Structure 1
Amino acid sequence: MILWREVAVIALAACGGACLALFDVPAAWLSGSMLLVAVVGVLRPLPDLRKPWFDSTMLLSGALIGSAATPEALVAVARYPGSLAVLFLGLAAIMLATGAYLHYVARWSWIDSLLAAAPGALSAVIAVAQAKGANIGRIAVIQLFRILVLVALLPSVMQASGGGIVGQPPTMLVAGAGEMLLVLGCGLFAGLVFERLGVTAPIILGSTFSSAALHGSGVVHGTLPASIQIAVLILLGAVMGGRVSNVKRAELAALFPLAIGSFAVSVIVAFAFAWPAAWLAGVPYATAMAAFAPGGLEAMAMLAFALGLDPLYVGAHHLARFMALGLAMPLLVAKMKAEPPKG
């Protein structure tokens, strides 16, 4: 009975994603699935997906994250040392500034504040929040708001700054069945080892490490099929949406001003660091804006390709930030404790 209710939640999430995908909304499968599950969950309680669902989502998410570390991408990362140094300084500044805003203005715990402030690596953020007992509901609200506003407004802002629509998304190479099984098997093994060692968010970390090593070394070529990628986004949206629906309505309404404020802080800091990075790399400011935008890897990459911006520059910076956040986040909050639930 519980299994069928969980399947119903996932089906509901798929419907939400499909509705936005019909209108070609960037990050549609993630944002649509989360929004519909959250709305229905507020009206009628829905079951949380159990650990096997969550772990499967994290395993596949890690495989996708690591698949971006191709030899070509690693070479591209090495081309922009000055710009990447600015990126990492900007990443620290975004985390500190936005985290401080949520901590001191909203009176959130530091662990909730930093996880909500993380600009991207959403799968890793949710995995760490789950492992540390943080408030996934309000973290998800802040994160989703940032993604939705970025994909809605950033194209117009970048075009006004000089980015024209001239490019097309490249064809993604799909890994063979044997390669996919190798990536997932190694990821699961590494994740179980990390879990035994007491590492925070072990499944997604192990899967990311394994996938990055296999792709970066050239042993595996290609990423997971588009259908599996969509399934991962639906599952992640279902998890996040379910947690959002558990947030009390009064608190949910109070989160929107905080979401607007934290979004403004993170974007101002990100675009401030994008200017010197553009000068160092010799790229248009619009291209640097896309590379430094504090959104999810998939959504920002889609926007960059749609606007015809330099895919190597944008991809290298998002890959570097994505990997840095995904690997450092569990270590950053390892000693922090979530605040006890208020009854």
Structure 2
Amino acid sequence: MLKRTGITVGLGFLGGWLATLLSLPLAWMLGPLFMVLCLSLMGVNTGIDKRLHRTAIALLGLFIGSRIQADELLGLVLWYPSVLAMLVYMALMLFGGYWIFNHANVGRMNAMFCAYPGSMNSALVLAERANGDLRWIAISHSLRLVTVVSGAAIVASFFVDDVTLRSSTSSFTIMDGLPLVLATLCWWLGRLLKIPLPEFLGPMAAGAIVANLGFDYSLPTWIVLTAFLVLGASVGARFSGTQWSQVISMGRYGIAFALFALLVAALMAWLVSSFTHLSFLAVLLALIPGGVGEMAVIAMVLDIDPVYVVSHHILRLLLLIFMTPLMIRIANGSAKQ
């Protein structure tokens, strides 16, 4: 796995470098994503060690947490319009996605999990418990993730003149290591308490603690960009071992669902932004099911409050977790029919 991870990261670096030369938006995430995706479908054995992927998520959580101020959290009560929109959006994704995938003849139960609004890992775990076909579910969610993440980044780039990461300290000192130690401890505590996404929420809490104690802390830019690279390469590597015939067979339905997710999210975001002070881009990133880490990355480079975006995705994840028993019962009931 170490060799495969090294090859994948190297390919991702090449993709990020090429994307930077071409001045593409989010070069150090989309470049690795598309480079690894294309080579994976060409037969290259790619993959990212889960520990490295989780470390990248943890660094991202620490980076976001360091921007959180306690007094800003009072604004949560003002976000209820987009929270309500997110609930409606989740329902539309479940019913609309089920209708789309039901036409793929993969079975009612598999169609249900293919339409799961985000959280690919949760969908696969649930589907496995219900004896679902993980092959189709993994392909559909991978296509959704790639389409949504790349689509969101490209669409967002039209609203800004330059999509770049704000510069931060380039050197790394001993004092910079103290928040990393605290982040590790919070990660471990999160796992101990069995909270969702402990590798993300734990370090994010650590960053918030450091920030609110009065320390002016920011991860060096090269560390943040490395986390972007790993996240992008990880998405592309999900297609390792996938045959073109499988992608073609399921691809039209997966892409149709992803486009449906983007279009409906854009409509909901437009409605919310039209009647509130919330910006269209912020609501869009908060709604679309592209993954917590990926949407947080896009929010940061666009200078959108990452706390606002992340809070919506975490809430959706919690709701999906609470829906787990119902989803399994529905899936098992559908399989018996």
TM-score range, shorter chain: 0.7 to 0.9
Asked whether 1:225 is paired with 2:227, we answer no
Q: Distance in 2 between matches of 1:170 and 1:200?
A: 28
Computed over aligned residues only, the root mean square deviation of the Cα atoms, in angstroms, reads 3.6
- Once the two structures are aligned, what percentage of the paired residues are identical? 14
Is 1:128–1:330's contact at 8 Å kept on the other side of the alignment?
no
Offset at residue 291 of structure 1 (A): 1.9
1:124-139 → structure 2 map (5 Å cutoff): 125=119, 137-139=139-141
Deviates more, 1:35-44 or 1:94-103: 94-103
In structure 2, what residue type is equivalent to 1:18?
W
Match of 1:210 in 2: 206
Is 2:168–2:221's contact at 8 Å kept on the other side of the alignment?
no
Would the alpha carbon gap of residues 292 and 197 (structure 1) be closer, same or farther in structure 2, given more than 3 Å must change?
Answer: closer
Q: Distance in 1 between matches of 2:296 and 2:245?
A: 32
Offset at residue 112 of structure 1 (A): 5.0
Is 1:205–1:327's contact at 8 Å kept on the other side of the alignment?
no
Would the alpha carbon gap of residues 138 and 257 (structure 1) be closer, same or farther in structure 2, given more than 3 Å must change?
Answer: closer
Give the TM-score of the pair, scaled to structure 2: 0.73
**Which of 191, 196, 201 matches 2:192?**
196
Offset at residue 11 of structure 1 (A): 0.5
Deviations 1:47-102 (A, max 9, x none): 5333332332232232123233245xx53x646854x2111112222222123322
Is 2:30–2:150's contact at 8 Å kept on the other side of the alignment?
yes
Deviates more, 1:245-254 or 1:35-44: 245-254
Offset at residue 126 of structure 1 (A): 6.3
Would the alpha carbon gap of residues 19 and 257 (structure 1) be closer, same or farther in structure 2, given more than 3 Å must change?
Answer: farther
1:1-343 → structure 2 map (5 Å cutoff): 2-70=1-69, 75=72, 78=74, 81-82=77-78, 84-107=79-102, 108=110, 110=112, 112-114=114-116, 117-118=117-118, 125=119, 137-154=139-156, 156=158, 171-174=166-169, 177-178=173-174, 180-215=176-211, 217-253=212-248, 254-281=250-277, 288-294=279-285, 296-303=295-302, 315-316=304-305, 318-326=306-314, 329=317, 332-333=320-321, 335=324
Offset at residue 234 of structure 1 (A): 1.3
Q: Distance in 2 between matches of 1:168 and 1:142?
A: 23
Q: Distance in 2 between matches of 1:109 and 1:330?
A: 22
Give the TM-score of the pair, scaled to structure 1: 0.72
- Structure 1 unpaired stretches of 5+: 119-124, 159-163, 304-310
Residue correspondences, number: 303
Deviates more, 1:172-181 or 1:22-31: 172-181
Offset at residue 190 of structure 1 (A): 2.2
- Structure 2 unpaired stretches of 5+: 103-109, 129-133, 289-294, 333-337
In structure 2, what residue type is equivalent to 1:182?
L
